Amino acid sequence: MEFPFDVDALLPERITVLDQHLRPPARRPGTTTPARVDLQQQIMTIVDELGKASAKAQHLPAPITSASRMQSNRHVMYVLKDTSARPAGKGAIIGFLKVGYKKLFVLDDREAHNEVEPLCILDFYIHESLQRHGHGRELFQYMLQKERVEPHQLAIDRPSQKLLKFLNKHYNLETTVPQVNNFVIFEGFFAHQHRPPAPSLRATRHSRAAVLDPSPAAPVRKLPPKRAEGDIKPYSSSDREFLKVAVEPPWPLNRAPRRATPPVHPPPRSSSLGNSPERGPLRPFVPEQELLRSLRLCPPHPTARLLLATDPGGSPAQRRRTR
């Protein structure tokens, strides 16, 4: 892939590693250097054009690799330059490989969910005119050495059929582990992880919680020993303390008589209908025994005396009962 500027001077090495800053690499001594802003703009142009070519080759609706995406994510891009072909003395780009770490939830061979953060293959492109010349294997092998990973430890984001054949041919990656997302992992992905044989989901959750929280567990409180049935004495003073509490009589019997106090006249209130009448203090409450005694000693009414006197047929006993 050719560009209108000098690619050979911009990228001095055969394979250049670009991060999210998209800074131009160190230049060779003795070469003329234009403004650094122009160099970064040229690198951004290379990234954008490579992303468009990769999307077109994979029949994607939009590019998944661009300069703006590189600057907003912590991805690494390996760019392969053609050192043999020098059209018009400016050099050319063969292809690129973009990788990055992502937090994924993947299924293992026992269909158990695992939260991992592997190195993922996000985009891989070699120019159509330079495929099947060993450039893809050279770029992929350089990335494995630089990142210090094995091929079976990688997760590939929506690989094409060409990429799956490439991995099967050069790295014997054929058997995949079915997933529910767009990432593909191969057999042996979990080989480096030491897992207990077929743990349950609850046991796994407890073990993870213990690893995340190394603090000691709270001491278990011991309950007092239960007494035997024969030791409990019914209605004993120790077990029936609540029986000693005196039960207060209901209202109004629980109110003691009190002496009348002189009325305190509140300040007069005004209303639309005039001042409300003043009320005197309530009479003190009379206990029940005293009330019954007063009724028993109360003299008969004069009307009752008249009725008893005018009733000639009434016997003295009946009159006494009536009285």
Distance CA(166)–CA(154), nearest Å, equals: 14
Residue linked to tokens 């690799």: 65
Distance CA(127)–CA(85), nearest Å, equals: 14
| Known binding residues | 124-137, 160-169
Which run of H or E residues covers position 39?
A: helix 36-57
Close Cβ partners of 105 (under 8 Å, ≥ 6 residues apart): 113, 114, 115, 181
Greatest CA span in the chain, whole angstroms? 155
Q: Which amino acid is at 145?
A: Q
Q: What are phi and psi of 61, to 5 degrees?
A: -70, -25
Q: What is the DSSP letter of 155?
A: E
| Known binding residues for acetyl-CoA | 124-137, 160-169
Range 113-118, long-range pairs (CB < 8 A, 24+ positions): 114/190, 118/153, 118/154, 118/155, 118/185, 118/189
Close Cβ partners of 276 (under 8 Å, ≥ 6 residues apart): 269
Distance CA(96)–CA(57), nearest Å, equals: 13
Q: b/e per residue, 96-127, with b = 16+ CB within 10 A?
A: bbbbbebebebeeeeeeeeebebbbbbbbbbb
Cβ(30)–Cβ(12) below 8 Å: no
Distance CA(53)–CA(11), nearest Å, equals: 19
